Amino acid sequence: MKKIYLFLLALVCFAQIAVADIDKSQAMKMVENVTKEGIEQIINSNASIEEKNKIFRQLFTQNLDLDFIGKYVLGRYWRTATPAQQKEFIELYKELNVQTWSKRFDEFKGRQFVFEGTSPANNPNQIFVDTNVPMKEGAPAVVKWRVNNVNGKLKIIDIIIENVSLAQTARNEYTSFIAKSPKGVEGLLENLRTKVK
């Protein structure tokens, strides 16, 4: 009996190590594709803003878990929002990110991401892909990608540039806005609509 337990224990440990290894390489590969296709190819091309936005929209939908990010960003207000407001928020937030990032990634124009490996997150279903971007001067910019594994499907849920988490920043900003707005979540939606029109 004891031998069977030991065998099962060994099997579980082996399976976990094997899964973790697959996750790491898959996560690295996925982020590498995003940086290659999204940043190094799109940003470095001479495409128009509209064209860049279109490609970014496609890239974001494929590789970012925008539902997850949207829920996290709204924090406790997600539960008080109506399903229609939740749906609209995710759409508006996605569009705002598409517009923002096609401009913001311009900063990395002409540069290449250097992949340094992965590091563990608190949540066992998540992992950080660690990269850096050599800059014109000084130390390279540290960019970490938080990748979430839901049923074997890997999606990016946060990008952390020089310790600044985009999801955390949006969450602090939006929840602070809602808390002060007399219209609550609707006030935020009204404001976002003007940003993305």
Partner 1 sequence: MIYFASTYILYRVNVKEEGILNKVLRQYIAFLCVFFVAGCASSSQTEATALENYNRTMFNINNQLEKVIIRPVAKGYRAITNEYMRQRLTNFFNNISEPVSAANHLLQGEWHNSAQNISRFMINTTIGGLGLYDVAAKAGLEQKPTGFDETLATWCVPDGPYIILPVLGPSTPRATTGWVADGYSSPAYWVANESNGEDAMLVYYGAAGLKYLNKYAENLKLIEGLEESSIDYYEAVKTMYLQNRGKIKSCGKIVAQSTPDYDFDMDDED
User: Which one of 20-28, 36-44, 52-60, 131-139 is the stretch in contact with partner 1 (CB under 8 A)?
Assistant: 131-139
Handedness of CA 40, 42, 43, 45 (dihedral sign): positive
The answer to the question of residue 99 lying near partner 1 (CB under 8 A) is: yes
| Site map 64..93 versus partner 1, x via CB under 8 A | ----x--xx-xxx-x---------------
Least Å distance, CB 176 to partner 1, is 4
DSSP 9-21: HHHHHHHHHHHHH
Q: Say how far apart CA 190 and CA 114 lie, in whole Å.
A: 40
The answer to the question of residue 163 lying near partner 1 (CB under 8 A) is: yes
Q: Within 10 Å of residue 24's Cβ, how many Cβ atoms?
A: 17
Record the tokens describing residue 70, joined without a space: 């949207």
The answer to the question of residue 44 lying near partner 1 (CB under 8 A) is: no
Q: What is the DSSP letter of 135?
A: -
Exposed (0-12), middle (13-18) or buried (19+): which is 96, by Cβ within 10 Å?
Answer: middle
Among 56, 60, 113, 174, binds partner 1 (CB under 8 A): 174
The answer to the question of residue 109 lying near partner 1 (CB under 8 A) is: no
Least Å distance, CB 77 to partner 1, is 9
Least Å distance, CB 172 to partner 1, is 4
The answer to the question of residue 132 lying near partner 1 (CB under 8 A) is: no
How far from 109 is each of 19, 112, 120, CA to CA, in Å? Answer: 35, 8, 29
Nearest alpha-carbon partner for 95 in 195, 166, 190: 195
Binding site for partner 1 (CB under 8 A): 68, 71-72, 74-76, 78, 96, 99-100, 103-104, 106-107, 119-123, 126, 128, 136-139, 144, 146, 148, 157-158, 160, 162-165, 167-169, 171-177, 180, 188, 191-192, 195
